Structure formats: structure tokens, C-alpha cells
Amino acid sequence: MPRGKYLNHKGRNRRFTNPEELENQRQREAKEKAWRKTRGDEESSEEEEEEEEGSDASEETSSEEESDAEAKAKGVEKLIEVENPNRVVKKNKKLSTLNEVVKAGAAPVPELSRKEREEIEAQKATAHYQKLHAEGKTDQARADLARLAIIKQQREEAAKRREEEKRKKDEAASAKTALTSKALGKRT
């Protein structure tokens, strides 16, 4: 295998910073801090210094600085208000309102989603329609009742016809037996 084909460049050019460069960088940062102080951005530089030093300050000063940091916006935040819709902010509940809810005995009703609301409305609508349909107040119920009336009438007429035919058949059969018995000379 040729040696030049597979080269590993990891350990080749290591470059360490000179102590002189580090000193120059520290002096530049000191000049920037001094320039900020003269310009009036002392608070932001103080916050940076405290972050660098660590948590040497007491809890009281850190809580005060947090409230100041929340009050003062950095950069474009003071120009544009942006709110994250996914961020859930804890709302402090008052004890008096919680006691009122407990005394009332009713838990707060959770809001339904759009799909759930539509489903409940559809169920109510179908139940209402079925009630009206049973009472015969809908167009479809009226049409069904009219159709049923027509069918009942047709069945009654068919039953009358069948009875009439059966009666005629019985009369014809009795007439025939009477004729045959008369022809044979039998008496009934």
C-alpha cells in the first residue's frame, strides 16, 4: 500500500497560543470594559463580570439582579415583544378562590376540543331528529306514514278480494255438489 494515500492529519499542525497573545487579548477585553463603562453600559458588563467570577454573591443580590434582568430587555427585546405560545406560565392561584371552588363542590369544567364539541352537537341533533321523527313531524316521517297508509289500504283491498274469491269458490263448490246430488237423486 502506498504510504501517501491514507494520511491522518490529526497530530500534524498543533498550534499553541503564545503567552504574549493571551496578554494582548486580556488587555483588549479590559479596554472594551472601560469603553463600556464610559458609554454607560455598566450593568451589562457587571453581569458579565459576575458570570465570570462565579456565584460568590449572596442569594439576595442574585435575586435582585434577576428581577432587574427581567425588567430590562437586552438587544431587540425592548423593541419587539415576543411570546412563546408553547411556554406554559405558572399562574399563582389564590387560596380564597380555591376555597370557593371546594365549598361549591364543583370542579371546574374542562373546555372541550372542537372535535369533541362537534361530536356532542351531532349526537344531540340526531336525538332531536329521532324524537321529531317518532312524533311524525318531519317530512320523512310524513312520507313514511303516507306510504304505510297506502300499503295498509292495498292489503285490506287484497284481503277483501281474497275473501270474495274464497266465498265465490265455496258457493260454486256448494252449487256443484248440489247439482251432482240432484242429478243422482240424493236428498240432503
Cβ neighbours of residue 47 closer than 8 Å, sequence gap 6 or more:
65, 69
Q: Is residue 143 part of a domain?
A: yes
- Whole-angstrom Cα distance, residue 82 to residue 85? 9
The arithmetic mean of pLDDT across residues 65-93, rounded, is 70
Q: Is residue 41 part of a domain?
A: no
Number of structural domains (the chain) is 1
Q: Is residue 129 part of a domain?
A: yes
Which of 31-40, 67-76, 150-159 comes out lowest in average pLDDT?
67-76
Most confident of 8-12, 28-32, 43-47: 28-32
Count of all residues that appear for the chain in the document: 188
Q: Among residues 54, 32, 27, which one has the least CA distance to residue 44?
A: 32
Q: Which domain holds residue 158?
A: 115-188
Higher-confidence residue of 89 and 56: namely 89
pLDDT, tens only, 105-145: 655 567 889 999 999 999 999 999 999 988 888 888 899 99
Q: Is residue 186 part of a domain?
A: yes
Mean model confidence pLDDT for the chain: 78
pLDDT score of 104? 63
Q: Is residue 177 part of a domain?
A: yes
Q: Is residue 84 part of a domain?
A: no
What DSSP string runs through 97-133?
HHHHHHHHT-PPPPPPPHHHHHHHHHHHHHHHHHHHH
Angle between helices 139-184 and 114-135 (to 10 degrees): 40
Residue 166 has pLDDT above 80, yes or no: yes
CA dihedral 45→51→53→58, nearest 10 degrees, is 100
- Whole-angstrom Cα distance, residue 37 to residue 31? 10
DSSP alpha helix (H) spans, 42-113: 42-53, 59-71, 95-104
Which of 63-67, 150-154, 159-163 comes out lowest in average pLDDT?
63-67
Q: Is residue 133 part of a domain?
A: yes
Q: Is residue 145 part of a domain?
A: yes
- Whole-angstrom Cα distance, residue 166 to residue 173? 10
